[in-house]
Amino acid sequence: MFSYMFQSMHTDRGCYLILGLLLFLYIIIMDIILYCSLQNSTLMDQKHEGTYSPFQPLSTKLLMSDPIQHYVINPTSEIFDEITKFSKIFYFISPNMISFTHLFLALLAAKFVSSDSLKTRRIGVLLYELRTWLDSLDGVVFRSHRNQQHEYKSHHDSWGFLIDAGCDISGGVIFSLGVLFYLFKMPPSFFNKYKEEGSATLPLTKSENGYNTSEKTNGKPSKKMLFFKCFCFGMQVFFSSGSWDKRVEQYGDLYATKFTAQKTVRQTASLHSLSTWIVLYMWRYVDGQALLQMYCLVIFMDKVWEFLNFVQYIGFAVLLFINVTSEVHLRYVRDAIGI
């Protein structure tokens, strides 16, 4: 067994598998620590001095952030700023300047992921991850300039939030267009191999979901159908991001607002309950950033077409389920607290 694992490390697939397992174990361990930290704290009047910690201070935004953002991107950007004093030394570099920079990187990443070469597409994924890291860094710089280090919450009333959100949305759209152009360039054999393997996701006639089976295209999906599949996933990211932001604000109003002593006891009990953890934890894997991280993963593993076919409709069902569950839970918590 050990000899097989050693030999597998010399292959790309073996290396990616081992790295994936290590990342999975890291996330599980960090989630356990996060759960324990939540049980020993509230979301009000938290103060944290010294080096950055992903567990203090906590906020609903942080609790509902996707694991890669929470445990990899945020810590590295925070530690980078602490070590280099980037926000202090280069004080003239504003968060908006960083936002426009990561928008340019999204454009560059889109160019790379539209390539026929898998290695080039993987470089595009790495560029997009760098864009995501810079997106976190602009938040670090923003908080540093306002003397609010390590305070993770959205400032909806600021121009910086609107610019950052606009760059994020534009970057995601541009990156997705790069994937669409990649699919446009794929030969019919790329799609036919799934029919040969007995996949039920590819219809055989044009009347079935818009596929063209003429001799000229030899069964390749039409551009309209390829656009529709990418559009479905794009809408899932859009709806997820919007609903996630709304839920973060709603849960923040519940758990980061001071009430009377009696209501505070019920508020704390609700925050520490298993049902609250489950609802918040589900959002960690369906928010817009988490979905884009999944997209990067399937691009890197060369499984874009399978992924788009799988999530085309089930993704909307999952989002609907989580939103309904959250709405029911919010009403239950409000009644339990007495507000």
At 247-262, the pLDDT tens digits run 999 999 999 889 999 9
Measure the CA–CA gap between 247 and 244, rounded to whole angstroms. Answer: 5
Which percentage of the chain shows pLDDT scores above 90? 65
**pLDDT per position as a tens digit, 25-70:** 999 999 999 999 999 988 887 776 677 889 988 999 999 999 999 9
Residue reference for tokens 């490390």: 9
pTM for this model (two decimals): 0.84
Counts for the chain of helices (H) and strands (E), in that order: 15, 0
CA distance 338 to 112: 54
pLDDT computed for residue 60 by the predictor: 93
Q: Is residue 194 part of a domain?
A: no
Range of the domain at 89: 54-185+222-337
Structure tokens belonging to residue 316 = 């909307």
Looking at residue 143, its pLDDT comes to 84
pLDDT at 287: 93
Token output for 88: 């202090």
pLDDT of residue 187: 86
22 lies in some domain: no
- Mean pLDDT for all residues in the chain: 86
Q: Is the pLDDT of residue 314 over 50?
A: yes
Joined tokens for residue 96: 């908006």
The reported pLDDT for the residue numbered 157 is 62
Q: Give the CB-side neighbour count of residue 103, counting CA atoms within 13 A.
A: 14
CATH number of the domain that 273 lies in?
1.20.120.1760
Count of domains forming the chain: 1
Count CB atoms within 10 A of the CB of residue 278: 11
Residue 137 lies in a domain: yes
Residue 300 lies in a domain: yes
pLDDT in tens, 255-312: 988 999 999 999 999 999 999 999 999 999 999 999 999 999 999 999 999 999 999 9
In a domain, residue 214? The reply is no
- Model confidence over 172-211: pLDDT tens digits? 999 999 999 999 998 887 887 655 444 444 443 444 444 4
Lowest mean pLDDT among 111-125, 130-144, 216-230, 253-267: 216-230
Q: pLDDT value at position 57?
A: 87
Residue 191 lies in a domain: no
Q: What is the pLDDT of residue 201?
A: 45
Q: Identify whether 47 is part of a domain.
A: no
Q: pLDDT at residue 4 above 60?
A: no
**Rounded-to-integer distance, Cα 215 and Cα 206, Å:** 12
Exposed e or buried b per residue across 118-139, where buried means at least 16 C-beta atoms within 10 angstroms of its C-beta: eeebbbbbebbbebbbbbbbbb
Q: Residue 329 domain-assigned? A: yes
Closest among 154, 213, 182 to 302, alpha carbons compared? 182
For 220, which DSSP code?
P
Give me the pLDDT at residue 165, please: 85
Cβ neighbours for 299, distance < 8 A, ≥ 6 positions apart = 113, 121, 122, 124, 125, 179
Contact indicator for 204, 195 with CB cutoff of 8 Å: yes
